[in-house]
Chains A and B, each alone.
Chain A
Amino acid sequence: MTALVLLEFDASGIKQPSRGAVAAASKLGEVHALVAGSGLDAAAQAAAKLPGVAKVLVADAPALDHLLAEPTAALLVALAPNYDHLLAATTAVGKNIMPRVAALLDVQPISDIADVVDADTFVRPIYAGNGMATVKSADTKKVITVRAASFDPVAAEGGSATIEPVSIPDLPGMSRFISAELSKSERPELTAARVVISGGRGMQAGDNFKLLEPIADKLGAAVGASRAAVDAGFVPNDYQVGQTGKIVAPELYIAVGISGAIQHLAGMKDSKVIVAINKDEEAPIFQVADYGLVADLFKALPELAEELERS
């Protein structure tokens, strides 16, 4: 059995969620990886170093820049005859492309798998993670997105795959990339960070998110937010952790002024250690927190920054 994983990358290498997808694919058989776009030398080299990857396919075409769904799906469909499983991470890119691939192959996609039982059987969350469904596919080919937080990502180094260009099929030009407004941040990405500190409605204003920064700096943490904080306009929507935002599972998750709506818990309850700081001792977040501090966050945050400084 051979699996093909669509990789996402940036200047710093192969993105962590994609390395999680490689880890999931490794449970299925031989793994090939696909990088697509133009100017792919660095990405192909980085992909070839992923442990567990036997071959890297390089699809070099400007039409594949930005991994728009229509051309990228056409590419994957052209490559599909050689593979039993086609995978990508459950990211904005993977979610956009893989169902399109599945429909073109007349396959029911299996979204957001959290575990591999066997070549046909997978575990995936339903109802915002309130149930874990074990599903068996009757399709001969499987099209899968992978919940990266549920798999230990393969390391960025250690492998030595062969690199091979692929011929580019006819790519539909029915969509056009206009622009991207990406949040600029020196901090790690939410889905890749070892530590995440998130603020909720209790932060009261966007300006107060500055109180999280010295702590995030000290811990090398990404900064996130609850849906309530995003809806209130405190921070942009790509900060959102939760069922409809990002799913994170860092070593340490610090929830500040977050009550703990089901919606939010669905996005962070797989974190290894959870800390909650909230002045309401009845807040549901305390039911999932390993360490709870009932306190006014406006006093606790500066104290925390100071205490971390003291080490």
Chain B
Amino acid sequence: MKILVPVKRVVDYNVKVRVKADGSGIETAGVKMSMNPFDEIGVEEAVRLREKGVATDIVAVSMGVPQCAETIRTALAMGADRGILVETDVELQPLAVAKLLKAIADKEQPRLIILGKQAIDDDMSATGQMLAALLGWPQGTFASKITIEGDNITVTREVDGGLETVALTLPAIVTTDLRLNEPRYASLPNIMKARKKPIENIKPADLGVDPTPRLTTLKVADPPKRQAGVKVGSVAELVAKLRTEAKVI
């Protein structure tokens, strides 16, 4: 079984992001970039499925600027077999990404596509569901556990009140939640090996997709700032202030 794992290059999880002074976006110049953490979980899950003998071929896909090849290399070092880079300068939004992935899926014919539940930059949480719609496949989103038997996949999902389990028929889409697994660190030998793995370079036009964004960002502002308040000396003082000053209890 072939698995497709889309991976997005985003500002590293640990970077404290800053809004640009002119309000045009987030400062990304000179900022460390990494693979979206939820996508890392997707790559890890695919590699584990191959280790269990369920998957045979893992294809990592990334899209955007040429440096997205580095994100694909990370996936290859974790265990993916080959990569596809869709290179473009156009800002890609989930609808365009889903269309590009659909075109790749039509060609590659994977049985399973594992995506992160959201990217930590635009926080849209949309691409997996949209890809499922375009392919006409079922979706198991926010997965904390998956089990594959033959053509059936059981997905345990993290929902608001706890967990929900659904059964889907392959081919299917899964999006990962935090607790699906803990991604491995790539070992040095595997990083070396990843350099020799192939990455195919294509353009949106090769896939017949118009990636023009539908949303225009008019401005990005800082969120309202909270001021640090006061320190209280005792529990009694705290309760008194909550009662008489804040009036919330």
What is A's interface to B at a CB cutoff of 8 Å?
66, 68-70, 73, 91-93, 95-104, 106-112, 121, 124-139, 172, 174-183, 189, 191, 195, 219, 227, 236-238, 243-244, 246, 251-252, 262, 269, 272-275, 281, 286-295, 300, 303-304, 307-308, 311
Residues of B within 8 A of A132 (CB): 220-223
Residues of B within 8 A of A269 (CB): 223, 226
Residues of A within 8 A of B238 (CB): 275, 291, 293, 304
Question: When the two chains form their complex, are residues A303 and B242 in contact, meaning their CB atoms are under 8 A apart?
Answer: no
- Report the separation of the CA atoms of residues A138 and B138 in the bound assembly, to the nearest whole angstrom: 28
Question: When the two chains form their complex, are residues B93 and A252 in contact, meaning their CB atoms are under 8 A apart?
Answer: no
Residues of A within 8 A of B231 (CB): 281, 286, 291-294
- Known A-B contacts A96-B129, A108-B214; the reply to A191 vs B166 at CB < 8 A is no
At the interface, yes or no: B188 with Cβ under 8 Å from chain A?
no
Q: Among B26, B221, B229, B230, which residue has the most Cβ atoms of chain A within 10 A? A: B229
- Known A-B contacts A127-B26, A304-B235; the reply to A100 vs B144 at CB < 8 A is no
- Known A-B contacts A179-B165, A288-B226; the reply to A135 vs B216 at CB < 8 A is yes
Kindly provide the distance from the CB of A279 to the nearest chain B CB, expressed in whole angstroms. Answer: 13
**Residue of B whose beta carbon sits closest to that of A121:** B218
Question: When the two chains form their complex, are residues B235 and A303 in contact, meaning their CB atoms are under 8 A apart?
Answer: yes
- Give the 8 A-B residue pairs with the shortest CB-CB distance, closest first: A290-B229, A103-B130, A103-B133, A99-B126, A108-B214, A99-B129, A92-B159, A182-B161
Kindly provide the distance from the CB of A146 to the nearest chain B CB, expressed in whole angstroms. Answer: 13
Kindly provide the distance from the CB of B172 to the nearest chain A CB, expressed in whole angstroms. Answer: 8
Question: When the two chains form their complex, are residues B248 and A262 in contact, meaning their CB atoms are under 8 A apart?
Answer: no
Question: When the two chains form their complex, are residues A92 and B160 in contact, meaning their CB atoms are under 8 A apart?
Answer: yes
Residues of B within 8 A of A102 (CB): 95, 126, 130, 133
At the interface, yes or no: B163 with Cβ under 8 Å from chain A?
yes
Query: How many residues in B have their beta carbons less than 8 Å from beta carbons of A?
Result: 79
**Residue of B whose beta carbon sits closest to that of A143:** B126
Residues of A within 8 A of B163 (CB): 180-182, 238
Question: When the two chains form their complex, are residues B220 and A133 in contact, meaning their CB atoms are under 8 A apart?
Answer: yes
Question: When the two chains form their complex, are residues B235 and A295 in contact, meaning their CB atoms are under 8 A apart?
Answer: yes
12 contacts between A and B (CB under 8 A): A66-B164, A107-B214, A109-B126, A125-B223, A176-B167, A177-B165, A238-B163, A244-B177, A291-B232, A291-B246, A293-B231, A300-B235
Residues of A within 8 A of B16 (CB): 130, 262
Question: When the two chains form their complex, are residues A291 and B242 in contact, meaning their CB atoms are under 8 A apart?
Answer: yes
- Known A-B contacts A135-B215, A178-B154, A289-B228; the reply to A109 vs B120 at CB < 8 A is no
Kindly provide the distance from the CB of B141 to the nearest chain A CB, expressed in whole angstroms. Answer: 5
Residues of B within 8 A of A175 (CB): 138-140, 166-168
Question: When the two chains form their complex, are residues A183 and B162 in contact, meaning their CB atoms are under 8 A apart?
Answer: yes
Question: When the two chains form their complex, are residues B161 and A70 in contact, meaning their CB atoms are under 8 A apart?
Answer: no
Q: Contacting A131 at CB < 8 Å: which of B137, B164, B179, B221?
A: B221
- Known A-B contacts A103-B134, A127-B123, A295-B235; the reply to A135 vs B218 at CB < 8 A is yes
**Residue of A whose beta carbon sits closest to that of B102:** A103
Question: When the two chains form their complex, are residues A100 and B214 in contact, meaning their CB atoms are under 8 A apart?
Answer: no
> Given A132-B222, A238-B162, A269-B226, 5 more contacts at CB 8 Å?
A132-B220, A134-B219, A237-B179, A243-B120, A293-B234
**Residue of A whose beta carbon sits closest to that of B159:** A92
**Residue of A whose beta carbon sits closest to that of B11:** A127
